[in-house]
Structure formats: C-alpha cells, structure tokens
Amino acid sequence: MQHPLSPVISTNLVMTFHSVPSGAWFRRALEAIGRWYRFVGVEEVCDYFEGRQRFNDCCLVTFDDGERSFATEALPVLETLGVPAVLFVSPGVLYSGGNYWFQDLRTLRTRVGDDAIRLAAASRIGLASDEAADFSVSALLKSLRLAQIRRLLDELAAQHGVQFDQSWNLTLDEATALDRHPLVTLGAHSMSHPILANEADDVAGQEIAGSVSALQALLSRPVDIFAYPNGARGLDYGAREQRLLREWGVRLAFTTDTGFFGEDTDPVGIPRAALSGDESMRAIQARLLAVPVWDRLRAGRERQERLQLRGRAAQHIRA
C-alpha cells in the first residue's frame, strides 16, 4: 500500500527517534510506517541523491544522540523486522562517558525546578527577572553558547547539591560495536551537541570537523553522514554549517525540519519527521499524512521565543 500522496508528490521520508519507551511501542510504530513505506538503508539514500537510483514511498529510520534505549528497546525490533537504521552520535560525549547538556538539564529541572534555571539563564542574556517569565527554559538555554550552558548547569548543580550521576547513553565500546552490526550505521552529530549557529566560526568548525574525524578514527572507516544538533534551519544551522560539511566530504546531512525528500532536496539539508514515544498508532498515521504541513500546524512556541531572544542574546553571547 502506498502513501496516499505519492501519486502527486515525492513522499520519501526520513523518520527520527531519540529515546524509545518500549520495544512494543517501537514495533507498532514501525508497523504503522511500514503500511505505506519500504524501509531502506542510508546507502540507498546516498544512491538516490547521487542519481544512481530513483524511488518513492521509501523510509530511512534514524536515531539521534545514542541513548541506551536504542540498544535495549529499538535494536531487537529492528533485528526482528529486518529494518536498517542510522545512529547519530557525538564523539566528545562518547569519549567523556558523560551526558549531553540537555540530559543534565533534565536532571536539574526535576531537582531544582524551572524558576531557578529560568532566572539564571535570563541573566546571561540580559533579561530582567520580570521578563524571564515570558520564555521557556529550553528557549533561553538554546540562545546561549555551549560553554555558557555548561557553566550555568554546573553552577546551579553546585549551589543545590545536585549530582549529574545518571548515565543516559551508550558507552564508547557499545557504540563502536553497534557500527559493526549489519543493520546499524553510525553517523556524526557534532562533538558535543551545541547550537551550532550560536557558536563562533572556529568552534563551529571544530564541532563539525572534530566529530567527523574523531568518528572516522574510532570506526576505522569514512564517515560522510551528519545530523545537525537540534536541527532547525535558520535557528540551529545555516549556510556556514552546510559549507563546512561539504568541505569535510559529508554526503548527507539531516535536519529536524519536517518534510519529505525528493530529487530537488538539498543533500545537506534533508528534512525528517520525528516520533517521540507518546503518539498512538492513529496519531502516527495522521502525522505521516500531515508531513508537508506539519511545521505550520504545530504551535511553534519555542521557535517564536527563540526568534524573540535572538537580538538580546547576540549582545551577550560572547560574555
């Protein structure tokens, strides 16, 4: 059975996941997608963009970050169904054995609460305390450079006696072993998951080049696929990042903007559709139908907040 829109437009899809709540949910999700799609591997997608084959109603499955649930919940289902997948990881996080900043933020929010974090983040941008209430914690932090985010989280943790001792992710050895699995391909996701567009030229270059070269050394093979951290064009990456990726020989780069891909899609700006684990099967089918207009349908409050903060943050981002 084909996607209802495939007779009139390209409906090729890249689906992305982060954490997987259970193997049962993930299997139902893949089965729902599989009603309209044939699953393909990343090499077939490379062939598509490089003109060696053409197809429609095909889906590439991807995972960002390398949370442990990929191995415990998702991989057994991928093996049972014979579905290939790409796992995008940040080598700096793998080597450190620590967490991504947003995972430590998750811990801090449960222990400290949003108000303290919001006020601390707002002060980094030059917002008064009465202005801070207009913005989410996420939007405020995503307006900062990674070094500022990390410093803020560590300072608040020290003040409130919080330990970032929960391990969320695969280990270095686990991740490298997965790349040898016949259904799994690892790709680069920056060194440490900053908002690349916020960073200075040298840092953005190090994050991209370092992740590609470090992963190549780790896996002893070329690495030519990349997923932008956070991934919204104009907010998280732009022409500078795309140029850097091309310079490093990246063939495909994936965003978090929602859409199908076709012959006219920029290979270093491929959209994806995301599933997070709380959608019903009916909601997944509705999401697949709404892919072309999904970004316009969803509220986009965080995006609007970040656009509002951009000017203020630019004045303080070098602090």
Range list for CATH 3.20.20.370 in the chain: 13-97+170-278
DSSP state of 86: E
Neighbours of 265 (CB within 10 A): 16
Per-residue confidence (pLDDT) for residue 315, from 0 to 100? 58
Per-residue confidence (pLDDT) for residue 286, from 0 to 100? 86
**What's the pLDDT tens digit per position in 33-60?**
999 999 999 999 999 999 999 999 999 9
- Band of residue 319 on the pLDDT scale cut at 50, 70, 90: very low
Per-residue confidence (pLDDT) for residue 272, from 0 to 100? 97
- Band of residue 178 on the pLDDT scale cut at 50, 70, 90: very high
For residue 76, the Cα-to-chain-centroid distance in whole angstroms is 22
Per-residue confidence (pLDDT) for residue 93, from 0 to 100? 97
Distance CA 128, CA 113 (A): 19
Identify whether the C-beta of residue 219 lies closer than 8 Å to the C-beta of residue 179: yes
- Band of residue 303 on the pLDDT scale cut at 50, 70, 90: confident
CA angle 11, 14, 17 (to 5 degrees): 140
Above 50 in pLDDT, residue 310? Answer: yes
Per-residue confidence (pLDDT) for residue 280, from 0 to 100? 80
- 276 or 168, higher pLDDT: 168
128-132, 166-170, 201-205 — which one is most confidently predicted on average? 201-205
Per mean pLDDT, which range of 175-179, 251-255, 289-293 is the poorest? 289-293
DSSP element (H, E) containing 123: helix 114-125
**What's the pLDDT tens digit per position in 217-261?**
999 999 999 999 999 999 999 999 999 999 999 999 999 999 999
Per-residue confidence (pLDDT) for residue 212, from 0 to 100? 98
As given in the structure block, the two tokens for residue 61 are 């499955």
Spell 280-315 as b/e; 16+ CB within 10 A means b. eeeebeebbeebeebbeeeeeeeeebbeebeebbee
> In CATH, what is the architecture of 13-97+170-278?
Alpha-Beta Barrel (3.20)
**What's the pLDDT tens digit per position in 72-115?**
999 999 999 999 999 999 999 999 999 999 999 999 999 999 99
Question: Which contacts (CB < 8 Å, 24+ apart) does range 304-307 have?
Answer: 305/134, 305/135, 305/136, 305/139, 306/139, 306/142, 306/143, 306/235, 307/235
Above 60 in pLDDT, residue 155? Answer: yes
